[in-house]
Structure 1
Amino acid sequence: MHELLRQQLLIDLGESSVIEALPKSINLKRKPNRLPKSTHLLSGEDMDARLRSIRRYITPRELAALLHWHPETVYRRIKSGMPAHRDVDAHGCGRRLKIYPPEIADWLRSCQEALERLNQLP
C-alpha cells in the first residue's frame, strides 16, 4: 500500500527524478511536496550532476536540504549574489523565492573557480 501511495505521489508531483535518487528509507509522509532533510552526502561532481538534473524551480528550503546547508545560509547567499527569482503575483508583489538548480550549479562552479584563482596568487 505504501509503495502504491509513493508511486501516485511521484506522478502527482512530477518529481520522479529527484525523489527516486533519494534512499528508499526516507519517509516522505510528513511533507510530500518537499525534499527530506537527510539526503545522502555526495561528492562535488555528483552534486553538480544532481543539481543539473532537476528541471523545476525549488524553494530555498529544498535547496538547503539538497546542499546540507542551514536555510538561513541559503538566504544569506541569495543576498550576496546567488541566483534566485521572485514569484510575483498578478499585482506585481512577490515575497516567495524560487531557485532553478542548474543556475545554482553554474554559480557554485564559478565560486569554486574564483577561489582556485585566488589560491594561485603569490
Structure 2
Amino acid sequence: MHWTILIKSHPDASGNPVLQGLRMAAAALADGILVSLFLSEEAASLALHLENPGDRQRVHHDLLAEIQELGAEIYVIGLDWMHAVGSLTLIPGVKVASMKTLVRQMRLSDQVVAL
C-alpha cells in the first residue's frame, strides 16, 4: 500500500494540520505503509533548514527527520520564492519536485491525503 500526503497548510494554522499530517505520515510508515510526502504552498517553508528554529519548527523538523528515517520520500513544490530568502538551504534529503511529479505520484497511490 502506498499513500501520498500533501501538506499545504501554514505551519501555524489553527487546528495544527501540519503537525497532524506529519504524525499521520510517521504512523503510516511505522505500520508498513509506503509514504510520499509533499510540502507545498504555505507548508513549503518546512523544507528550509533553519539555524535557530523555534519550538514548533523544531518539532516539525524532528518529525520530518523521523519520516525520512522510516523511509519516506519528502518533496517540496513551489520554491520560486526561494531566491528571495537568500542563502537558506533545504533540509538534507528533501527533493524539489514539480506539480507533474505530484500528479504522477497521486495517480500511483492507493490513498491521497491533503491537509
TM-score w.r.t. length of structure 1: 0.25
Q: Which has the higher helix share?
A: 1
Larger RCO: 1 or 2 (CA < 8 Å, sep 6+): 2
Larger radius of gyration: 1
